[in-house]
Amino acid sequence: MTKKRLTLEDACAIARNRGGHKSWCPHCAKVAYCTIEDARQIAISRNGKCLSTEYINNYSHLLWRCSKGHEFLASLQHVKNSNSWCSKCAKVAHHSIKVARQIAISRNGDCISTNYYNNHSALLWQCENNHIFTATLNAIKNKHTWCPFCSKKREDLCRKIITKYLGPPSPIRKPDFLKTPKYPTGLELDIPYYDYGFAIEVQGIQHERQIKFFHPNFENFEKQQTRDQFKEELCEENWIALRYVWYYEDPFEKILDILRELGLIP
């Protein structure tokens, strides 16, 4: 039996008859499996929302809203497969990573991160002494923090701030009560005010968690914490209250909070 060769008109008629069936074009079949619910789930995963109520196909524009409230049009295919999102936020992110790099350069350092998400997400930085550390752009830009490993500069800043209120601290940084058989040369206080009954410790990130730059292994970190705890106990026994300015805190705000807490300023 001889098979009849289909004409173009025959093929078009078959295509029209199968237009609504998934058994026809495999590409269209995949598109048909996408729904408005898929768009909504993608938007939720990006902390946004799909405002459209109807889905036509993978290339038709839908209305979206990002977490910042920006509304924009984009196809599901573009958002899903190109991993794109709000263009306004993308411009802000590009601008902000530029700002981060400019600030780092002004401090003789560098911002190593290439992506910026928001003002409170951590970026990777490098100081002029080649220390690598993480900090938010908000902390670097607005709270004037910088490398926690270059603690000497930060300690000097804290000393200058408190000197304006109480005068210079005691030059004796290794008092006799911090000299023990285990530590015969004495443990050191950063900014002691014995006459006022307190001392300030300027704490870098190495006092909080293991940093290979300071602690080659976890045992070294544990020894660091043991020294810190022992120092605090000896100070308490000798009526010296220890207060801390941590690497992530604004020293201008924190020191004033400490002085108010101790009743030394109104």
What does the pLDDT look like over 67-112, one tens digit per residue?
888 888 888 888 887 667 777 776 655 568 888 999 899 888 999 9
Dist CA 80 CA 73 (whole Å): 13
State the DSSP code for 249. S
What is the C-alpha to C-alpha distance for residues 261 and 258, in angstroms, rounded to an integer? 5
The single residue listed with the structure tokens 């700002």 is 99
Helix, strand or coil, per DSSP, at residue 49: strand
Torsion over CA: 122, 126, 127, 131 (sign):
positive
Non-local CB neighbours of 118 within 8 Å, separated by 6+ positions = none
Question: Tens of pLDDT along 17-44?
Answer: 555 444 445 445 444 467 899 889 999 9
Q: How far apart are CA 133 and CA 19, in angstroms?
A: 59
Q: What's the topology of domain 151-261?
A: Endonuclease; Chain A (3.40.960)
User: Where in the chain are the domains?
Assistant: 24-81, 90-142, 151-261
Spatial CA neighbour of 59 closest among 31, 82, 35, 30: 31
pLDDT at 17: 59
Contact call for residues 230 and 241 (beta carbons, < 8 A): no
Instruction: Return the amino acid letter for 43.
Output: A
Q: What is the pLDDT along the chain (266 residues), one digit of tens a residue?
A: 555 565 655 655 665 555 544 444 544 544 446 789 988 999 998 889 999 988 888 778 889 898 888 888 888 888 887 667 777 776 655 568 888 999 899 888 999 988 887 767 889 998 887 788 888 888 888 777 788 777 667 888 899 999 999 999 999 999 999 999 999 999 999 999 999 999 999 988 778 887 776 777 888 889 989 999 999 999 999 999 999 998 888 888 999 999 999 999 99
What's the confidence (pLDDT) of residue 13?
60
Nearest to 248 by CA among 198, 190, 208: 208
* Per-residue buried b or exposed e for 95-132, using 16+ beta carbons within 10 Å of the residue's own CB: ebbeebbebbeeeebbbebeebeeeeeebebebeeebe
The per-residue pLDDT for 29 is: 44
Angle at 184 between CA 178 and CA 189, to 5 degrees: 35
